Structure 1
Amino acid sequence: MGIMGYLRERMGKIVAGVIGISLIAFVITEVVQSGGSFFRDDNSTIGEVYGEKIPYQEFNETVEQNSNQFKEQSGGALSPQITAYIQENTWNQMLSKAMISHEADAVGLQVTGDESQAMISGSNPSPEIVRAFTNPQTGQFDRASLTSTISKLRVTPDVDPQKQRWKKFVQELVENKLAEKYMTGITNGLYVNSLEAKDDYEAKNKLANFKYAVLDYQSVQDSKVTLTDADYSSYYEEHKNEFKNQQETRGIEFVTFNGAPSKADSAAVKASIEKLKPEFSASTNDSLFVQINSETKQPFAYRKKGELGSGLDSVMFNAAPGFVYGPYTENGHYALAKLIDSRVGPDSVTAKHILLAPGDGIKKADSLKALIQGGKSFAEMAKMYSMDQGSAAKGGDVGTFARGAMVPAFEDAAFNGKPGDYKIVTSQFGVHLIYIVAQKGSSKVVKVAVVDKPLNASSETQSAAYSKAQQFLINVNDGDFNAQAKKAGLEVKNADDVTGSAASLPGLESARELVRWAFNAEKGDVYDQVYTSGDQYVVARLTAIKPQGILPLDAVKKQIEPMVRVQVKAKMLTDKFNGALSGAATIEQAAQKAGATVNAVQNIVLANPVIPGVGAGPEYKLIGTIFGSQVNKLSKPVQGQQGVFIFSVNSFVNPAALANNITQKQQLLQGLVQRSQGEALEALKNKANVKDYRARLL
């Protein structure tokens, strides 16, 4: 289709991608909110940045735009997870834009009118402009089309949707340019000095040869370790900043009762569709039969081999018209398939068309066809009369397309005719006068009608599952949720750290209402009704409320228990090594007294602190200590990731002197630049006083 058609179809993608161009290294996380924010009465605000409100309507409109674009690209409906993903990306996009705009204003940074003009129609326009106005036939930027479009938009009323989309497009280009300028100002201030380059070079090339002995944490049985409140407090105080909650979260436990279709339900659905098979086979109006009897109203279209699915290819491409196959299962449905027709047809078609309004469109198409066959130019008629302005600007040319690219009526006419034919057909867009320019390739295609019935649970199956869930809910009193679950033989599932914007929980595709309840409930509350998620009936209880900020010890006690146990074991093993080191002159003597084995390691570098044979992870503290030690000196115990170590350095091998540090500086600077954008936005987020009200509005 034409350029403006391209913009209509692709604008969502263009808009959604603009911010990402300059912020590609950073995906901003959800941001914090105040504990009482969910109970505010202002339902017109989705959040705040620097005290400025983010309108819910603007957020919702952008979500809808991005959702429509996703559906156009994927061709399917949106699942709760995809919807949540789009909402999250939209939120992050709006936060990024608001933060950068605020900071740019503070430093007087702006995109001038001349810069905006240059981005749109200058000698080196924005890549998004180039992409939008690239001729699909030549693959080249079509400046004439850009100029023509701008000229038309200048005289188009402001209320015209096309002009509004264009303004939004340009606005996003300007905002992207502003973000790019802001980030460029940050990255231009980065610098790597010669000392940093030298340190990095040595960290990657200086070699350490040493011997070590280790007492593994696994050598101490968990049953031999008693954890005290002091142990928990000690670990918590040392690692307190690791428990900073970036946003308020909830913990939910729940049990589910399965209401999925039973074997009896499956047999009933299969039997119902089997009853249709004789009627389907005898039907002389397959389209009407499908409309009356099928759950899915699929349009009939010719398909190439490989496009039918469910093993239909091997059946239908070797059958005679009228053959009915099934029942078979596909995507949770029982189905019958009937071969309507098979033929050999082209693989692709090149065509032109003139799109006319319904009503007298057929009569007008007949008149235009006669004029064109009488010598009038198709291209001129398209420019004068076609409602598809995009293709009209190219003389009605819609290019070359394969099967499945056009609506069925258009496709059938183009593929079933022959080059030089004029066809008049009606689709949901209007009346088309089609001229078939050329056809290429040749392959067998089939047209198949499908009747399907969904495999749904019967009311009896659903009622039985719901009744069990309802009885469980009645039995649950404060504090005995897990006891009742154990008594009923049910698995209690846990969803920890649930965010306010979450749309699903582990094992539950649709849980938005449950999450909204959790952010208005008190710890220990049980959801007061059976919650339905797909074919699951759910009884849930709120187990934790984690506020924004550094979490208290009680909130993380269960989480840190394994690490606290390791710390206590480390103290025990450190004491054991200290006893062995007393009076020992060599690492061999100390290891023997401690019951450990000495191992020799060669050619370890600081930049890759992995010791062969010692677990799978890096030993940062150990290797860092080694590179700061003296040769032939027996170390004190070092608490590592795998266990407690002692070591003795045999030698260091220094690399050749760094003659030219330019490459080293460039590599370090590149890493700084990549990190700087994300870190800059993280810093902005921390000072922007962002408030997130999505939990109560979405």
Structure 2
Amino acid sequence: MGIMTFLRNRAGYVLVGAIAFAIIAFIVGDLIGTGKPFWEASQRVVGTIDGEDISIDEFTPKVDQSVEQFKQQYGGGAVNPQMQAMAVDNAWQTEVARVLLSKEYNRLGLTISGDELFDLLQGTNPSPLILQYFGNPQTGQFDRAAVISSLKAQSKDANLRAQWNLLQVEVEKQALQQKYANLIRNSVYVSSLEANDEHVNRNKLANFRYVSLNYASILDNTVKLTDADYQAYYDEHKLMFKNPTETRSLEFVNFSIEPTAADSAAVKAQVAKLAEEFKVTPNDSLFAANNSDVKVPFNYIGKGKLDPAVDSVIFNYPAGSFYGPTFSGNSYKLIKVVSSRFSPDSVKARHILLDPAKMGGEAAATKLADSLKSLAQNGANFAELAKKFSVDGSKDSGGDLGTFARGAMVPEFENASFDGNPGDYKVVKSQFGIHLINIQKHIGSSKVAKLAYIEKSLSPSSKTRDAAYRKATTFLNEVKDDNFSELAKKNKYLVSAAENLNPTQGYAAGLENPRQLIRAAYDAKKGEVLPEVYTMDNGFVVARLTNVKPKGQLALSDVKDQIESAVRNQKKAKMLTEKLNSALSGASSIDQVAQKVGQPVNPLQNIVFANPVIPGVAQENKLIGSVFGAQVGKLSKAIEGAAGVYAFVVDGFSNPAPLANTFKQKQVMVEGIAQRSLGQAFQALQDKAEIKDNRVKFY
């Protein structure tokens, strides 16, 4: 991938400054001319990071770029609400890092000098980014000549100059990040004693037997909790109750729009009629394309691409067969097997892509492709031809596309590659231009089929949707802030809860596509019914805001429901500890203790300190820590754990061999600590900074 490819992905940034300036000039001019209050500009601020406003105009292109990255990562499909929320959050975190780290670099005096930048761009120590875009993928060697040539060309090419400016910014940013990371790393030290302790903690084995009294052995309704119990637990664990961001909770009724029995019958009848028409249609592919809810390309496909219920049988059908209607996965399937054959599992190929728009039209591009084909067939170096004529990013690697399976390329390209033979040269047209393809190798072989495919989803009718919406509207009109649960119960509606929703999340338990609902929750006051019926993918929702937890230290009242189970277990622990200590009194063996409390003795072997888990029970840090601090053969006192109260006796320890390579152990520990420290340092910068996040107003 060359510099053009790199900067195409970031092209939006080139215009951001100019666009932002034009917008600001327009607004300021308009305000001066009309006398509007200047504070209206604050309505365009997505957030403020340590005093720096982030406007919606500069933030939107960065969200768009993040969305495009998600699309590429997940196969280029549509972005769902969860992915959209993640893209927004990714763009925001990038802005937070940009502002805070830039200030930290300045405070620490971290800079990139002119000599360093020269070295990073074209010297003996090039940036990883430069190596990525100007490295030879086959040899791994840095092509300095290509860099110098491109740098010289920018003086005559404004577009290339702008792209180099962007690349230089990225190179400097990465270099500063590396300097900062090295600074953090060099502040970390691990002593030989610490290295040996870590070795022992991960390799020393303990064998012990224990007796436990589980908290579940006491019924919850027999344990009465007081305000003092809650307060004591809260005070002891106060640091656990810091909220990183404001959260809100809802109770809601979801008026489902699931298909009714009548809807199912109607769809079934429609599919049966469609099947009869499909069987006799003269144009299978066109009929399927016009009638299917899910578009499957009319192309050869291999096993594993369809719904499992269909995939398991359809490849056993001969050409000309008809399959269905069959219901699976909430839809009916109708399939005609048009043809089937054996085909390669994957293809290794290379190509030259020509752009007709730059060559005077499609005819001229095709003519050139044919000429290049003749040259290649007569022994010309294909890789050199690709470097000279191709407009694709693969040209720098001689047009090499590597190995790809079906579905990876556009249909025209795929058909030519899989239908031809190794050594063939084929000229094909696609949406990207004119390709000259050289098929280098076919790998594997399996059965593929060309299918005319129809899928009809079982979806609710408009009548069903209208009925659900009327119910939701009626409920919204009748409900008050103080009678939500009572009115729902009276109407036999199920009340569900969505707890601790942060302002930017794109999901909520029991709800599909809830962004508008969450945004409305952040405009409401605690106890209010939200003002409208909200449309989800799975129903119509009426909701009420039940709780608001502020950012920062939460009060006991904010977490009382959350800690109720833990407080009850703490009280049970006191009761069971008293019982177990009584059994331990006068006992000389763990078997006697077990007999007194009526519980079995449980043996455990080969437990390590670094993994404090009782298999099948729980993670028991206090118990395992006590085991490794105990004497062999001595009965312990009662230990309050996560799942119950324990008593134990150690049967023996197995010590590991001495640490053979202390330096290597220290190096591994330093790397881990440095990585955590870098994250902790950035978190400290965020905690110290004043950050106001208004994204919920825009997304």
TM bucket (normalised to shorter chain) is: 0.7 to 0.9
Superposition deviation, residue 199 in structure 1: 5.7
Q: Is the contact between residue 303 and residue 446 of structure 1 (CA under 8 Å) also seen in structure 2?
A: yes
Alpha carbons of structure 1 residues 234 and 274: separation in structure 2 relative to 1, 3 Å: same
2:265 aligns with 267
Aligned counterparts of 2:486 and 2:232: Cα–Cα separation in 1: 33
Aligned counterparts of 2:591 and 2:278: Cα–Cα separation in 1: 89
Matched residue type, 2:550: P
Q: Is the contact between residue 529 and residue 543 of structure 2 (CA under 8 Å) also seen in structure 1?
A: yes
Matched residue type, 1:682: Q
Superposition deviation, residue 60 in structure 1: 2.5
- Superposed counterparts of 1:646-685, under 5 Å: 662=663, 665-666=666-667, 668-685=669-686
2:432 aligns with 429
Superposition deviation, residue 247 in structure 1: 0.9
Alpha carbons of structure 1 residues 663 and 395: separation in structure 2 relative to 1, 3 Å: closer
Aligned counterparts of 1:494 and 1:523: Cα–Cα separation in 2: 15
Alpha carbons of structure 1 residues 289 and 639: separation in structure 2 relative to 1, 3 Å: closer
Alignment deviations for residues 195-241 of structure 1 (CA, whole Å, 9 cap, x no partner): 54566567678899999876654454434432222222222222222
Aligned length: 664
**Alignment match of 2:249 (pick from 248, 251, 265):** 251
Matched residue type, 1:550: Q
Question: Do structure 1's residue 87 and structure 2's residue 85 form an aligned pair?
Answer: no
Superposition deviation, residue 646 in structure 1: 7.2
Aligned counterparts of 2:123 and 2:110: Cα–Cα separation in 1: 21
**Alignment match of 1:607 (pick from 589, 593, 609):** 609
1:692 aligns with 693
Q: Is the contact between residue 349 and residue 402 of structure 1 (CA under 8 Å) also seen in structure 2?
A: no
Alpha carbons of structure 1 residues 89 and 149: separation in structure 2 relative to 1, 3 Å: farther
Which segments of 5 or more consecutive residues in structure 1 lack a partner in the other structure? 13-38
Aligned counterparts of 1:616 and 1:405: Cα–Cα separation in 2: 45
1:486 aligns with 489
**Alignment match of 1:539 (pick from 538, 542, 547):** 542
Aligned counterparts of 1:589 and 1:397: Cα–Cα separation in 2: 72
Alignment deviations for residues 367-409 of structure 1 (CA, whole Å, 9 cap, x no partner): 5467668879797996799572646667777677654443333
Matched residue type, 2:692: K
Alignment deviations for residues 255-310 of structure 1 (CA, whole Å, 9 cap, x no partner): 21221223432333343344344544454455554554444555432334554555
Secondary structure in 1 matching 2:619: coil
Q: Is the contact between residue 342 and residue 447 of structure 1 (CA under 8 Å) also seen in structure 2?
A: yes
Aligned counterparts of 1:237 and 1:581: Cα–Cα separation in 2: 31
Aligned counterparts of 1:512 and 1:134: Cα–Cα separation in 2: 44
Aligned counterparts of 1:561 and 1:627: Cα–Cα separation in 2: 31
Question: Do structure 1's residue 56 and structure 2's residue 59 form an aligned pair?
Answer: no
Secondary structure in 2 matching 1:505: coil
2:113 aligns with 112
Superposition deviation, residue 643 in structure 1: 4.6
Aligned counterparts of 2:343 and 2:632: Cα–Cα separation in 1: 81
Alpha carbons of structure 1 residues 287 and 151: separation in structure 2 relative to 1, 3 Å: farther
1:348 aligns with 347
Deviates more, 1:252-261 or 1:51-60: 51-60
Superposition deviation, residue 246 in structure 1: 1.2
Aligned counterparts of 2:399 and 2:413: Cα–Cα separation in 1: 14
Q: Is the contact between residue 609 and residue 618 of structure 1 (CA under 8 Å) also seen in structure 2?
A: no
Question: Do structure 1's residue 460 and structure 2's residue 463 form an aligned pair?
Answer: yes
Alpha carbons of structure 1 residues 488 and 394: separation in structure 2 relative to 1, 3 Å: same
Aligned counterparts of 1:332 and 1:188: Cα–Cα separation in 2: 57
Superposition deviation, residue 147 in structure 1: 2.9
- Superposed counterparts of 1:496-575, under 5 Å: 496-573=499-576
Aligned counterparts of 1:416 and 1:657: Cα–Cα separation in 2: 62
Aligned counterparts of 1:483 and 1:603: Cα–Cα separation in 2: 55
Secondary structure in 2 matching 1:275: helix
Which segments of 5 or more consecutive residues in structure 2 lack a partner in the other structure? 12-38
Aligned counterparts of 1:608 and 1:514: Cα–Cα separation in 2: 44
Alpha carbons of structure 1 residues 112 and 45: separation in structure 2 relative to 1, 3 Å: farther
Alpha carbons of structure 1 residues 662 and 523: separation in structure 2 relative to 1, 3 Å: same
Q: Is the contact between residue 133 and residue 145 of structure 1 (CA under 8 Å) also seen in structure 2?
A: no
Superposition deviation, residue 546 in structure 1: 0.3
Deviates more, 1:393-402 or 1:180-189: 393-402
Superposition deviation, residue 480 in structure 1: 2.5
Matched residue type, 1:514: L
Q: Is the contact between residue 277 and residue 324 of structure 1 (CA under 8 Å) also seen in structure 2?
A: no
Aligned counterparts of 1:213 and 1:116: Cα–Cα separation in 2: 66
Matched residue type, 1:691: K
Alignment deviations for residues 84-126 of structure 1 (CA, whole Å, 9 cap, x no partner): 2222233233323332222111011122333334334333433
Question: Do structure 1's residue 65 and structure 2's residue 103 form an aligned pair?
Answer: no
Superposition deviation, residue 417 in structure 1: 6.0
Secondary structure in 2 matching 1:110: coil
- Superposed counterparts of 1:190-201, under 5 Å: 190-193=188-191, 196=194
Q: What is the root-mean-square deviation in Å for CA atoms of aligned residues?
A: 4.8
1:31 aligns with none
Alpha carbons of structure 1 residues 579 and 685: separation in structure 2 relative to 1, 3 Å: same
Matched residue type, 2:62: T
Matched residue type, 1:563: A
Secondary structure in 2 matching 1:510: coil
Alpha carbons of structure 1 residues 410 and 465: separation in structure 2 relative to 1, 3 Å: same
- Superposed counterparts of 1:297-336, under 5 Å: 297-307=295-305, 311=310, 314-315=313-314, 318-320=317-319, 323-329=321-327, 332-336=330-334
Q: Is the contact between residue 280 and residue 286 of structure 1 (CA under 8 Å) also seen in structure 2?
A: yes
1:46 aligns with 46
Superposition deviation, residue 610 in structure 1: 5.1
Alpha carbons of structure 1 residues 328 and 167: separation in structure 2 relative to 1, 3 Å: farther
Aligned counterparts of 2:611 and 2:413: Cα–Cα separation in 1: 64
Superposition deviation, residue 522 in structure 1: 1.1
Q: Is the contact between residue 204 and residue 609 of structure 2 (CA under 8 Å) also seen in structure 1?
A: no
Q: Is the contact between residue 417 and residue 436 of structure 1 (CA under 8 Å) also seen in structure 2?
A: no
Q: Is the contact between residue 529 and residue 539 of structure 1 (CA under 8 Å) also seen in structure 2?
A: yes
Superposition deviation, residue 9 in structure 1: 8.3
Q: Is the contact between residue 212 and residue 646 of structure 1 (CA under 8 Å) also seen in structure 2?
A: yes
Aligned counterparts of 2:634 and 2:339: Cα–Cα separation in 1: 87
1:150 aligns with 150
Matched residue type, 2:220: D
- Superposed counterparts of 1:467-482, under 5 Å: 467-482=470-485
The alignment's TM-score, normalised by the length of structure 2, stands at: 0.78
Superposition deviation, residue 156 in structure 1: 6.2
Superposition deviation, residue 475 in structure 1: 3.9
